Amino acid sequence: MEARIFQSSPSSCCFSSGSINRHRFSSIISPSPNPLSVSFPQKTRTTRVLSMSKKDDNTESLSYKGSGVDIDAGTELVRRIAKMAPGIGGFGGLFPLGDSYLVAGTDGVGTKLKLAFETGIHHTIGIDLVAMSVNDIVTSGAKPLFFLDYFATSRLDVGLAEKVIKGIVDGCGQSDCALLGGETAEMPDFYAEGEYDLSGFAVGIVKKDSVINGKNIVAGDVLIGLPSSGVHSNGFSLVRKVVARSDLSLKDELPGGSTTLGEALMAPTTIYVKQVLDIISRGGVKGIAHITGGGFTDNIPRVFPDGLGAVIHTDAWELPPLFKWIQQSGRIEDSEMRRTFNLGIGMVLVVSPEAASRILGEAKNGDYVAYRIGEVVDGEGVTYH
């Protein structure tokens, strides 16, 4: 194994800007004599979700669990780990440092890698890797500081690895954080020829009096959705089952889209860091949910105090063609879509009504795209209207 450690000076620490796939949890850790205190993040999208067609009643409805990913089992593992590491539950782990918190997150890109191997699209998978971690830690209001990667393969293809790491560099540039180092692990016979695995680790910082933690959320607050670029980096075990069942190849044009199916599925995950930090700086943001594995149904409630839930207006934004195709081709139930995919909304901000008016006004002026997708209500869970 070869570690890649890069020196970083104050003037060069940031690049200029130009699951279960995913189950996440975290804790606030107090300094202790034990230098091995750690958090244990684990891998574990609605616009109008189409009702399934009646004409294919003899075709089995696909599900995430049926594709090999059991979200409930992941939740049970989290529950058990919580007994050993109390305080877990957020999207990033918080470590106190003076008047600030260091916020850390770790993730991979799941079986999206399988499609990278099939399509030969490797230059953007590193963006996905960075995105999954920095999008998690920004939910606490943290600005990413640095990123570390782990690249493992059976036989090192230098040209291929260079493409992957170039994507990581691009992702760090989009996040204004430093690629501080990484690990290249060459492990003969462990992976199939030409395949590799990735993990990433991000650390950011936020002032203690500026942490976004959801504690001040109340009924009547507004849910603002920021659009995704596609499936992002979770749900691909189910996606691959859909592709295998369908009549399309990855080289065929996506119905209703402007790219091939493979290109649409491999679109790099949106990095929300700069946009979200800018919105936070103007006030009124009370909670933020990164919509990954678990979709709206599982991720939005994670930022709420007890006794609060959400109503999602499923006609608030247009369901992208890719998700329409996934649901129709896999005959996937609405509830399964809502608990597996982002369905076009990759980040949800819980804001005051006043902040919502400002954000939506800016979106109307063309500064960015944002939708009012719902409200906070009394009661628990997420309902869809």
CATH code of 112's domain: 3.30.1330.10
Q: What is the DSSP letter of 329?
A: H
Indicate the residue among 172, 191, 210 that finishes a domain.
Answer: 210
Please name which of 198, 126, 117, 109 lies closest in space to residue 167, comparing C-alpha atoms: 126
**pLDDT of 348 over the 90 cut:** yes
Mark whether 217 and 113 lie in a shared domain. no
Best CA proximity match to 156, nearest among 184, 137, 135, 118: 184
78 inside domain:
no
User: Which residues, other chains included, contact 143 with Cβ-Cβ below 8 Å and sequence gap of 6+?
Assistant: 176, 204, 205, 206, 273, 277
pLDDT single digits (tens) 247-306: 999 999 999 999 999 999 999 999 999 999 999 999 999 999 999 989 999 999 999 999
| Dist. CA 60–CA 244, nearest whole Å | 13
Name the token pair of 349: 């901000």
Q: Model-level pTM? A: 0.85
Last residue of a domain, one of 153, 177, 210: 210
Q: Is 279 in the same domain as 369?
A: yes
Residues 106 and 254 in one domain: no
More confident residue, 45 or 63: 63
CATH number at residue 246: 3.90.650.10
Pairing of strands 308-312, 381-384: parallel
DSSP labels, 50-82: PPPPSTTTTSPPP-TGGGT--HHHHHHHHHHHH
3-class state of residue 273 by DSSP: helix
**161 and 111 belong to one structural domain:** yes
Q: How many domains does the chain have?
A: 2
Range of the domain at 189: 89-210
User: Is residue 25 in a domain?
Assistant: no
**Do 250 and 335 fall within a single domain?**
yes
Q: In a 10 Å sphere around its CB, with 0-12 CB exposed, 13-18 middle and 19+ buried, how is residue 72 labelled?
A: exposed
Say which residue, 185 or 56, is predicted with more confidence.
185
Final residue before a domain boundary, out of 210, 231, 251: 210
d(CA 67, CA 236): 9
Summarize pLDDT for 361-377 with one digit per residue, the tens.
999 998 899 999 999 99
Range 162-166 average pLDDT: 98
Instruction: Examine the domain organization and report whether 303 and 342 are in the same domain.
Output: yes
User: What pLDDT score does 24 carry?
Assistant: 36
Residues 6+ apart with CB under 8 A from 21: 43, 44, 69, 110, 111, 233, 234, 235, 236, 237, 292, 293
Confidence of residue 383 (pLDDT cuts 50, 70, 90): very high
3-state SS assignment for residue 227? strand
First CA to last CA distance, the chain: 52
